[in-house]
Amino acid sequence: MTRRNAKQNDYRNSRERADRITKLIAEGWIEAATEIPQSAIPVDPHRLNVGGSYFRPTYFEDVDFVCQDCGIDQTWKAVDQAWYYESSGAPYYSSAIRCRKCRIAERDRKAQDRKSAGHNENSAQDLTPNR
């Protein structure tokens, strides 16, 4: 990455951070920008699905967890959390339990189980009546 691109990314990230903090203050989730640690990513309150919870998170930080399948210590990065909760629309009360390798293995296992049970990707189309 060139120095110019790095500067543009830094500016874009700082601008996005300021916009998110402004939204949090406007929504009444925080009173001042100092409530958000510098190392954290502020939440976008308009994109977060709190799923009926009374708890409203105000920022994302790296979270350490142990994979439930392989037992290896993992870190769920704040950037990945922001994507998961804000872009994919997942409810905030869900969290990471598997490492990437084990998630892929679990997804493949489920696909194989569906296939061996006689289901395929087009089964939803098979159920629609012909007119």
Strand residue runs (E) in the chain = 41-42, 59-60, 63-66, 73-76
Please enumerate in sequence order all residues whose Cβ is within 8 A of that of 61, keeping only pairs 6 or more positions apart, or say none.
Answer: 37, 39, 40, 41, 78
- State how far the Cα of 69 lies from the Cα of 39, in Å rounded to an integer: 30
The pTM of the whole model exceeds 0.85? no
Task: Give the model's pLDDT for residue 131.
Answer: 47
Average pLDDT along the chain: 85
pLDDT at position 33 over 80: yes
Which of 8-12, 50-54, 64-68 comes out lowest in average pLDDT? 8-12
Q: Which residue has better confidence, 14 or 40?
A: 40
Task: Give the model's pLDDT for residue 123.
Answer: 53
Q: Which of 1-5, 7-11, 71-75, 92-96 has the highest mean pLDDT?
A: 71-75
Q: Which residue has better confidence, 52 or 114?
A: 114
Confidence class for position 102, pLDDT limits 50, 70, 90 = very high
Task: Give the model's pLDDT for residue 70.
Answer: 94
User: Using an 8 Å Cβ cutoff, are 37 and 61 in contact?
Assistant: yes
